[in-house]
């Protein structure tokens, strides 16, 4: 039994995948195969946004204890509003919208990092403070809801064999993230910084550059999510990122990323996103309100963190 438990802990993403399968089976038994199939088809679109913000948050959390980005909802609002205004509903301006959200992401990531590094503000306070600034800018620019370009909207709503076309974007981003984390020196540097920043610095790793890059990468992924979410929703709204503050943390923790830093789990982000979507769908089907859903998310985060805290890796 002990060996089996250790094996499961060595595969952090397995918990979320097992949870997804169990909830999927429960959904099929409770609601029928037809409804369960429709839910899985819908999940292929909606989990994409959770995956993109989750991958960004995962990189930040992996960079070490205390690192977190709470500016995600405001980043989504600002990026969505600005990108829709820049494109103006024209297919020929899609490239400009993509470049714009990347630029916004880089700027926000640098701004967050400078607040943390230069002013010595804890990440949780710095990113929460920056979110108020970003949200204010989004409000000032958010008058009028521009429609997305038809080609971008058609892509966001497209399906192949019942699977959303957006899933291909999220899969590509996940693959690239995995390559960077597990195959390139930049990923190994991030793990080293997350495990022990002092030791990494003595080993020649540029710790602050690594941390800066994680905040920038997170903001860029969130800004890209905002572009796709706006296209999927038919336009940008100021509150469209509100659900993703808690959700971004939930998919990271439940997906097996080590909260104390040093170990990332991109596969687990997918498993956790699907798991939470199915849980949310079941709660909605039973008429549960948003408040109880938030309680469930919080309880899951506490439970997974407690279980992970018992592992040797988490205690080091």
**Banded model confidence at residue 154, pLDDT cuts 50, 70, 90:** very high
Rounded CA separation 113/54 (Å): 19
219 lies in a domain? yes
pLDDT tens sequence across 165-210: 899 999 999 999 999 999 999 999 999 999 999 999 999 999 999 9
Is 5's pLDDT higher than 80? no
Which is higher by pLDDT, 300 or 253?
253
Task: Provide the domain count of the chain.
Answer: 1
Structure confidence at residue 6 as a pLDDT band (50, 70, 90): very low
pLDDT of residue 2: 47
Nearest to 154 by CA among 91, 97, 96, 100: 91
Q: Is the model's pLDDT at 15 over the cut of 90?
A: no
User: Is the pLDDT score of 315 beyond 70?
Assistant: no
Cα gap 267→249, rounded to integer Å? 15
Are 49 and 209 spatial neighbours (Cβ–Cβ below 8 Å)? no
For residues 101 and 225, give the distance between their C-alpha atoms in angstroms, rounded to a whole number.
9
Q: What is the three-class DSSP state of 141?
A: helix
* pLDDT value at residue 160: 81
Per-residue pLDDT tens digits for 205-261: 999 999 999 999 999 999 999 999 999 999 999 999 998 998 899 899 989 898 889
| Higher pLDDT, residue 34 or 55 | 55
| pLDDT score at 162 | 73
Specify if 223 maps to a domain: yes
Instruction: Please tell me the predicted confidence (pLDDT) of residue 314.
Output: 47
Query: What was the pLDDT predicted at 144?
Result: 66
160 — phi, psi (to 5°)? -125, 115
Residue 295 domain-assigned (yes or no)? no
Residue range 270-285, pLDDT digits in tens? 999 988 888 887 777 7
User: 225 or 24: which carries more pLDDT confidence?
Assistant: 225
Q: Which domain holds residue 168?
A: 45-241
- The answer as to whether 69 is a domain residue is yes
Structure tokens at 243: 């659900």
Q: How far apart are CA 264 and CA 124, in angstroms?
A: 20
Percentage of the residues of the chain whose pLDDT score is greater than 70: 91
Count the residues in the chain: 316
As a whole number, the mean pLDDT across the chain is 87
Locate tokens 């080590």: which residue? 258
CA distance readout (Å), 245 to 8, 74, 103, 131, 165: 28, 9, 21, 11, 25
pLDDT band (50, 70, 90) for residue 19 = confident
Give the largest CA-CA distance in the chain: 60
pLDDT band at 10 (very low <50, low <70, confident <90, very high): low
Q: Is residue 181 domain-resident?
A: yes
pLDDT of residue 11: 78
In a domain, 284, yes or no: no
Specify if 56 maps to a domain: yes
Tokens of 113: 């990092």
Do the Cβ atoms of 128 and 70 come closer than 8 Å?
yes
Is residue 308 domain-resident?
Answer: no
């Amino acid at each position: 039994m002990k060996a089996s438990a250790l094996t499961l802990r060595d595969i952090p993403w397995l918990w979320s995948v097992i949870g997804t399968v169990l909830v999927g089976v429960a959904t099929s038994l409770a609601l029928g195969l037809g409804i369960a199939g429709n839910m899985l088809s819908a999940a292929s679109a909606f989990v994409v946004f959770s995956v993109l913000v989750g991958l960004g948050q995962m990189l930040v959390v992996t960079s070490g204890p205390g690192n977190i980005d709470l500016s995600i909802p405001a980043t989504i609002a600002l990026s969505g509003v600005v990108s829709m205004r820049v494109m103006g509903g024209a297919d020929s301006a899609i490239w400009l919208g993509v470049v714009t959200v990347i630029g916004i992401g880089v700027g926000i990531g640098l701004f967050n990092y400078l607040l943390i590094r230069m002013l010595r503000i804890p990440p949780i306070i710095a990113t929460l403070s920056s979110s108020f600034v970003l949200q204010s800018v989004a409000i000032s620019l958010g008058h009028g809801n521009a429609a997305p370009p038809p080609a971008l909207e058609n892509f966001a709503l497209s399906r192949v064999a019942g699977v959303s076309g957006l899933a291909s974007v999220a899969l590509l981003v996940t693959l690239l993230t995995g390559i960077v984390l597990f195959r390139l020196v930049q990923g190994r540097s991030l793990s080293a910084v997350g495990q022990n920043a002092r030791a990494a610095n003595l080993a020649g790793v540029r710790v602050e550059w690594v941390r800066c890059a994680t905040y920038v990468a997170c903001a860029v992924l969130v800004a890209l999510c905002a572009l796709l979410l706006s296209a999927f929703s038919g336009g940008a709204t100021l509150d469209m990122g509100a659900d993703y503050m808690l959700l971004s943390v939930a998919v990271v923790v439940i997906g097996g990323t080590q909260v104390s830093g040093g170990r990332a789990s991109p596969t687990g982000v997918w498993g956790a996103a699907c798991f939470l979507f199915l849980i949310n769908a079941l709660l909605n089907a039973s008429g549960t309100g948003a408040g109880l859903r938030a309680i469930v998310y919080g309880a899951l985060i506490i439970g997974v963190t407690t279980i992970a805290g018992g592992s040797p890796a988490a205690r080091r």
